[in-house]
């Protein structure tokens, strides 16, 4: 049997102490960073139920006749499967009407009759979805009638 030297613990020198201290600090920083990352992911997932704009903001934007702003809000606030309540669906329909009207007039000027007809169908659909705010569709149409 070979004679094995028993391992004795070496005395703790300043260098070894510093090495262990730095190791512990780095591990602690790593664990804190992982915990912060997990917390951010959890918060981000919780924000899926967050409404970017409330009904009052939609209505204020519509009443100010800021149709481009309303369309931008509609696009920002869009999520698959989200249920909109109150007057928000009608406001969103006016915004989509504006979008379809912009495309309709652009395609009409470009001479693309098929695409213009498709946008006209969208305009009719969104006008019917606009409910009590359908009179804003007339204001949108008036914007394009003013063009030379």
pLDDT tens digits for 31-52? 999 999 888 888 776 665 556 7
Higher pLDDT: 51 or 53? It is 53
Give how far the C-alpha of residue 100 lies from the chain's centroid of Cα atoms, to the nearest Å: 21
How far is the C-alpha of 121 from the C-alpha of 125, rounded, in Å? 6
**Domain around 39:** 14-48
- Same domain for 42 and 90? no
Cβ contacts of residue 6 below 8 Å, gap of 6+? none
Residue 7, domain member (yes or no): no
**Residue found under tokens 């009207």:** 101
- Same domain for 85 and 35? no
Number of neighbouring beta carbons within 10 Å of residue 126: 22
pLDDT, the chain, mean: 85
Residue 8, domain member (yes or no): no
- Same domain for 85 and 97? yes
pTM (2 d.p.): 0.65
Q: Are 90 and 132 in contact (CB under 8 A)?
A: yes
**80: pLDDT confidence band, cut at 50, 70 and 90?**
low
What's the pLDDT score for residue 30? 94
Residue 97, domain member (yes or no): yes
Residue 6, domain member (yes or no): no
Residue 9, domain member (yes or no): no
Q: Is a pLDDT exceeding 90 seen at residue 145?
A: no
Alpha helices in 47-131 (DSSP H): 55-63, 67-76, 88-110, 113-129
- Same domain for 81 and 138? yes
Number of neighbouring beta carbons within 10 Å of residue 74: 22
Q: What share of the chain has pLDDT > 70, as a percent?
A: 84
Residue environment code for 29-68, b if the CB has 16+ CB neighbours within 10 A, otherwise e: eeeeeeeeeeeeeeeeeeeeeeeebeeebbbebbeeeebe
- Same domain for 96 and 108? yes
How far is the C-alpha of 121 from the C-alpha of 40, rounded, in Å? 44
- Same domain for 44 and 66? no
- Same domain for 116 and 86? yes
Residue 76, domain member (yes or no): yes
Higher pLDDT: 88 or 6? It is 88
Give me the number of domains the chain comprises.
2
């Amino acid at each position: 049997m070979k004679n094995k030297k028993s391992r004795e613990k070496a005395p703790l020198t300043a260098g070894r102490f510093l090495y262990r201290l730095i190791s512990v600090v780095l591990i602690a920083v790593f664990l804190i960073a992982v915990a912060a990352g997990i917390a951010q992911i959890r918060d981000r997932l919780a924000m899926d139920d967050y409404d970017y704009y409330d009904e009052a903001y939609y209505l204020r934007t519509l009443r100010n006749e800021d149709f481009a702003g309303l369309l931008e809000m509609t696009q920002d606030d869009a999520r698959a499967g989200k249920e909109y309540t109150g007057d928000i669906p009608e406001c969103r329909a006016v915004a989509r009407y504006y979008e379809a009207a912009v495309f309709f007039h652009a395609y009409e000027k470009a001479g693309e009759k098929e695409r213009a007809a498709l946008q006209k169908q969208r305009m009719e659909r969104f006008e019917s979805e606009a409910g009590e705010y359908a009179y804003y569709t007339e204001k949108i149409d008036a914007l394009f009638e003013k063009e030379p």
